[in-house]
Amino acid sequence: MSQVTSGSNPRTLADELRSRADSDLAGLLLARPDLLSPLPGDLSQLATRAGTRASVQRALDRLDTFGLQTAEALALAGPPCSQDDLAVLLRDGEHRLSEALATLRSRALLWGPPTAMRLVRTAQELLAPTPQRPGPTGLGPTLGETVTALSPRRAQELLAANGLRATADPVGAARALAELFSDTDRLSSLLAEAPDHSHEVLRRLMWGPPQGEVSARPATHLRWLLDHALLVPTAPGTVVLPREVALALRGGRSHRDLRPDPPELTVHTHHRPERTDVVAAGQAHRALSLTESLLDLWEREPPAVLRTGGLGVRELKRVAVALDIPEPEAAFWSDLAYAAGLVASDGGTDERYAPTPASDEWLRLTSPERWTRLAGTWLGTTRCAALVGERVPQQGAARGRTADRSLAALGPGLDRGPAPELRLRLLTLLASVEPGAAPEQSAVRERMRWQAPRRMPDTLRELLCSAAFTEAEHLGVTAHGAISGFARPLLTSAHARAAEPDHEAVALLTGRASAATPEAGARPAAPDAGDATEAVAPTVADAGAGSVVLDTTGPELPGTGGPRDTGYVRDDGGAPAEGATVPAGASPAALAEVDPEAAAVSAAELLTPLLPEPLDHFLLQADMTAVAPGPLVRGLARALNDAADVESTGGATVYRFSPASVRRALDAGRTAAELHAFLAEYSRTPVPQPLSYLVDDVARRHGRLRAGTAAGYVTCEDEATLDQVMADRRLAPLRLRRIAPTVLVGPAGGDLLLAALKEHGYAPSAESTDGAAALGAGTPPRRTPPRTAPEPQPDGPPGTDAALLRAAVRAIRSGDHAAGAAPNAGGRPPSDPPSGLPRTEPAETLRLLRAAAGAGSLVWIGYVGADGVATQRVLAPVRVEGGFVTAFDHTAEEVRTYPLHRITGAAPASA
């Protein structure tokens, strides 16, 4: 126990820590491991770190209900607070009070002598009720905080109404009023005068939430309460019950529902422990065979990995069908195998899940060891297969899309930090009752809630609890709700492995009350049943239910968010927290004696006699079945699986031999002789004759037809010649193989064979595909398969037609005219061009050009060249189409094509 040395009152937390024993400090660091990294330089640093908001939050989250209530009461009382004052606030909890205070102190949340205890400031801030946040106590602000907000005149009015003397300032007024309300006698005499309905109003606000709503014109009874400062307005339409009044009405209690004692674990049924163990062992055996079947299944048919990771719904269904279990269970086993590293994605381009090399190691273990591995994995994993199928918002979805996806087994998003801690707590609770007893599930849930109310939201706790109950049954950790004997050592080892071990649990599980935990045995009896049922009412969530509508005429408003919004969950690694029942400074002595490995071994040892012994034999029967009357040694099971089909599974396995199954074994490389020997060796009964016949029959036909790949062959009627070829070293590179006396085959093609044989002095001839046209004709003239001739790809101009030729001739003629060689002819261009560029409308231009082309006459055009210079040209148009005119240009004396849009106009040229 950390006790402050009397006489020297510490001034700060650091001061007090300095005075604590080393073991206490060790206890602090054990309970709040976050303080360890990085390691604080000195105690002042430690104290500072212990006072940071995140760290305090974390510490508060790990308090049990009463520890938290004590801290809340301390925050309410304000520093400094004496233990006596605290005892008033926590009436009926006195018997556990010193223990709770010791816990707070050991976690460095509380310091100071018992007469003047102080919460760490951050904790004080986090827990004290404020006007905005009444907190779990449901208390409003103090009179001081409320009355000072009123006008001085109003304050004096209130004093007068209560028959008090006027004071100088509102602070004095608040003090006077507080004094009045704290005096029970004076308060009750005051209340005796209150109008009828006012008591009702006070009762409704007394336990919180303290805010109420009133209309602009309150009813008489409300007005009376307001006038006497029993209700104080905080905002228009809102009133609050001052803390002093509420406390006085409550008789000084801070909590309506104080829960100093953990809810009782009511036992639901008793079973004989041996029966429990047998049933659990049956489940354990089933767990192993299911996991092995899963590995077998995925080895043969590896399922694809979803693009978003995880196992698709269809693949999960396939597992469920193959293992003959419901889908949620299939999700559990596959995810467990994944968590245990037995299956993983192969990382290929076409990504698939497949058994890992580690699974081979696992399979080599004995059944109990295999089970301990599985169960150990389950205890420690943060993965939670029960979440499979829940819909969550799509991560990384395109903006603006609200698509959600469902969580997939083996996929991301299944990790829940507090899961392992919760499982361990739950099982520890189950282990705390006598062997074979199954506690009521609801009682266990209630206790879990009591142990760490702020650790996680209730919905998550419920989900994880249900999952833990079911999964524990699946695995055989529990049977009929009672923990199995062979699972107990595992819990110890899990506790020892945990980052924040639970010493009490370890002590309990190892059956040894540690000297450091004297209270464990002396814990007061649990409250009676009546208390237990009432205790179901939540303490935290209810208080935040918002304000109560007081005025019947006022509108009913939904509650405003309370402390629920403060967010109790932080998935910070999920290391198990200590229950508040662990006394301060618990030495890790009990823990040091626990070797996790040894615990796992002892679990395996306990399980060994309960699991069916693997057998090294089976029974063969004349109806072509083999019965393995128990689990087979792994290698034997595999071998038998190859040669026969499984017909039924369970405690025993029934196999049936069929031609197909025997063929499978032969395909796998076994010979008939091996199969006979195998059956004879491992069968307890004589091998039935029909079975031997079956093996021989199938073997006789197996591989009678053989197929392979060869690119070329050599055949010869004369075996001696082939002997010679085979013996010829020069032909060795051809890698010829003799598959019949007269046939050689090889990986080289026919041409190569021919060439090589010719080269080395043989006289081979080619054989056609039908084999008939063997010798003789020699190589036929080479021909290609039918081919179409290539399409012409001209890069010159296309051929001319008659019109163009005509035009060309005409053009040539015109050219002649232009040269002035034959001035007599009528085709001469007009010597007098029109003045200026011809300008016509485009339609007119087109018409003139077409007419000229039709008549073969000449036109003048105005043409704007690419350089922007307009020129006059004489054309003999040939063709006008597609926006172009093709013509013999008399000016340039060649055939040219002009775009119409560049032509300014046209005019007939009279020849």
Partner 1 sequence: MNGPLIVQSDKTLLLEVDHEQAADCRRAIAPFAELERAPEHIHTYRLTPLGLWNARAAGHDAEQVVDALLTYSRYPVPQALLVDVADTMSRYGRLTLSKHPAHGLVLTSTDRPVLEEILRSKKIKPLVGPRVDPDTVAVHPSERGQIKQTLLKLGWPAQDLAGYVDGEAHPIELREDGWQLRPYQQQAVEGFWHGGSGVVVLPCGAGKTLVGAGAMATAKATTLILVTNTVSARQWKSELIRRTSLTEEEIGEYSGARKEIRPVTIATYQVLTTRRKGVYPHLELFDSRDWGLVVYDEVHLLPAPVFKFTADLQARRRLGLTATLVREDGRESDVFSLIGPKRFDAPWKEIEAQGYIAPADCVEVRVDLTDGERLAYATAESDEKYRFCATTDSKRRVTERLVRRHAGEQTLVIGQYIDQLDELGELLDAPVIKGETSNAQREKLFDAFRSGELSVLVVSKVANFSVDLPEATVAIQVSGTFGSRQEEAQRLGRVLRPKADGHEARFYSVVARDTVDQDFAAHRQRFLAEQGYAYRIVDASDLEEAPEPDAEG
Strand 548-549, strand 211-213: pairing:
parallel
Token pair for 727: 């013996």
Q: Distance (Å, rounded) from C-alpha 642 to C-alpha 650?
A: 19
Question: C-beta of 329: minimal distance to partner 1 in Å?
Answer: 10
685 belongs to the binding site for partner 1 (CB under 8 A):
yes
36 belongs to the binding site for partner 1 (CB under 8 A):
no
When binding is defined by CB under 8 A, the residue of 169, 565, 605, 623 that contacts partner 1 is 623
Contact mark string toward partner 1, 296..325, x via CB under 8 A:
----------------------------x-
In terms of Cβ atoms closer than 10 Å to its own Cβ (0-12, 13-18, 19+), residue 768 is exposed
Residue of 277, 273, 275 whose CA lies nearest to 607: 277
Contact mark string toward partner 1, 567..606, x via CB under 8 A:
----------------------------------------
What count of Cα atoms within 13 Å lies in the side-chain half-sphere of residue 453?
A: 22
In terms of Cβ atoms closer than 10 Å to its own Cβ (0-12, 13-18, 19+), residue 272 is exposed
Site for partner 1 in 641-670 (CB under 8 A): 648-652, 654, 659
Contact criterion met (CB below 8 Å) for 582 and 505: no
When binding is defined by CB under 8 A, the residue of 214, 279, 444, 600 that contacts partner 1 is 279
Question: C-beta of 320: minimal distance to partner 1 in Å?
Answer: 14
Measured CA distances, 183 to 157, 179, 186, 243, 244 (Å): 21, 7, 5, 14, 10
**Cβ-based nearer residue to partner 1, 609 or 747:** 609
Chain-centre distance for alpha carbon 362 = 26
Q: Return the range that interacts with partner 1 (CB under 8 A); candidates 18-26, 62-70, 381-389, 687-695.
A: 687-695
**Cβ-based nearer residue to partner 1, 27 or 688:** 688
Query: Is the Cα torsion angle 244, 250, 253, 258 positive or negative in sign?
Result: negative
Reduced to 3 states (helix: H, G, I; strand: E, B; else coil), residue 130 is coil
| DSSP 8-state code for residue 439 | E
Question: C-beta of 690: minimal distance to partner 1 in Å?
Answer: 5
Which residues 6+ apart lie within 8 Å of 530 measured at CB? none
Contact mark string toward partner 1, 813..852, x via CB under 8 A:
----------------------------------------
Reduced to 3 states (helix: H, G, I; strand: E, B; else coil), residue 40 is coil
Measured CA distances, 101 to 325, 450, 551, 673 (Å): 50, 17, 41, 79
When binding is defined by CB under 8 A, the residue of 114, 282, 435, 457 that contacts partner 1 is 282
285 belongs to the binding site for partner 1 (CB under 8 A):
yes
From start to end of 676-823, where are the E strands? 712-715, 737-740, 743-746
615 belongs to the binding site for partner 1 (CB under 8 A):
no
H-assigned helices in 785-856: 802-819, 842-855
286 belongs to the binding site for partner 1 (CB under 8 A):
yes
Q: Angle, nearest 10°, between helix axes 357-364 and 367-380? A: 130
Q: Distance (Å, rounded) from C-alpha 312 to C-alpha 321?
A: 14
Reduced to 3 states (helix: H, G, I; strand: E, B; else coil), residue 289 is helix
688 belongs to the binding site for partner 1 (CB under 8 A):
yes
**Cβ-based nearer residue to partner 1, 473 or 542:** 473
272 belongs to the binding site for partner 1 (CB under 8 A):
no
439 belongs to the binding site for partner 1 (CB under 8 A):
no
Q: Distance (Å, rounded) from C-alpha 444 to C-alpha 266?
A: 8
Q: Return the range that interacts with partner 1 (CB under 8 A); candidates 282-290, 439-447, 507-515, 767-775.
A: 282-290
Question: C-beta of 283: minimal distance to partner 1 in Å?
Answer: 7
Q: Return the range that interacts with partner 1 (CB under 8 A); candidates 283-291, 399-407, 523-531, 749-757.
A: 283-291
616 belongs to the binding site for partner 1 (CB under 8 A):
no
**Cβ-based nearer residue to partner 1, 685 or 768:** 685
**Cβ-based nearer residue to partner 1, 687 or 808:** 687
H-helix or E-strand containing 188? helix 184-192
Tell me the number of residues near partner 1 by CB under 8 A: 33
612 belongs to the binding site for partner 1 (CB under 8 A):
yes
When binding is defined by CB under 8 A, the residue of 281, 343, 464, 543 that contacts partner 1 is 281
Q: Return the range that interacts with partner 1 (CB under 8 A); candidates 38-46, 597-605, 693-701, 879-887.
A: 693-701
**Cβ-based nearer residue to partner 1, 299 or 623:** 623
423 belongs to the binding site for partner 1 (CB under 8 A):
no
**Cβ-based nearer residue to partner 1, 65 or 478:** 478
Question: C-beta of 613: minimal distance to partner 1 in Å?
Answer: 10
Contact criterion met (CB below 8 Å) for 725 and 731: yes
**Cβ-based nearer residue to partner 1, 619 or 822:** 619
| DSSP 8-state code for residue 284 | H
Q: Return the range that interacts with partner 1 (CB under 8 A); candidates 25-33, 54-62, 562-570, 614-622.
A: 614-622
From start to end of 663-721, where are the E strands? 712-715
Contact criterion met (CB below 8 Å) for 131 and 240: yes
624 belongs to the binding site for partner 1 (CB under 8 A):
yes
**Cβ-based nearer residue to partner 1, 612 or 764:** 612
Question: C-beta of 553: minimal distance to partner 1 in Å?
Answer: 48
**Cβ-based nearer residue to partner 1, 181 or 657:** 657
When binding is defined by CB under 8 A, the residue of 619, 740, 755, 777 that contacts partner 1 is 619
H-helix or E-strand containing 152? helix 152-161
Which residues 6+ apart lie within 8 Å of 273 measured at CB? 435, 436, 482, 485
278 belongs to the binding site for partner 1 (CB under 8 A):
yes
179 belongs to the binding site for partner 1 (CB under 8 A):
no
Strand 743-746, strand 859-864: pairing:
unpaired
**Cβ-based nearer residue to partner 1, 457 or 612:** 612
Contact criterion met (CB below 8 Å) for 454 and 566: no
C-beta pairs of 307-311 under 8 Å, 24+ apart in sequence: 308/405, 308/408, 308/411, 308/412, 309/408, 309/410, 309/411, 309/412, 310/407, 310/408, 310/409, 310/410, 310/411, 310/412, 311/353, 311/408, 311/409, 311/410, 311/411
255 belongs to the binding site for partner 1 (CB under 8 A):
no
638 belongs to the binding site for partner 1 (CB under 8 A):
no
When binding is defined by CB under 8 A, the residue of 21, 397, 572, 693 that contacts partner 1 is 693
Residue of 775, 710, 768, 706 whose CA lies nearest to 744: 710
Contact mark string toward partner 1, 477..506, x via CB under 8 A:
--x---------------------------
Question: C-beta of 609: minimal distance to partner 1 in Å?
Answer: 9
Preceding amide of 368 cis, omega within 30? no
Contact criterion met (CB below 8 Å) for 77 and 115: no
Site for partner 1 in 696-755 (CB under 8 A): 697, 701
Question: C-beta of 286: minimal distance to partner 1 in Å?
Answer: 7
Question: C-beta of 623: minimal distance to partner 1 in Å?
Answer: 4
Q: Return the range that interacts with partner 1 (CB under 8 A); candidates 82-90, 169-177, 690-698, 873-881.
A: 690-698
Token pair for 550: 């007081």
625 belongs to the binding site for partner 1 (CB under 8 A):
yes
687 belongs to the binding site for partner 1 (CB under 8 A):
no
689 belongs to the binding site for partner 1 (CB under 8 A):
yes
Residues that bind partner 1 (CB under 8 A): 278-279, 281-283, 285-286, 324, 479, 612, 619, 621-625, 627, 629-630, 648-652, 654, 659, 685, 688-690, 693, 697, 701
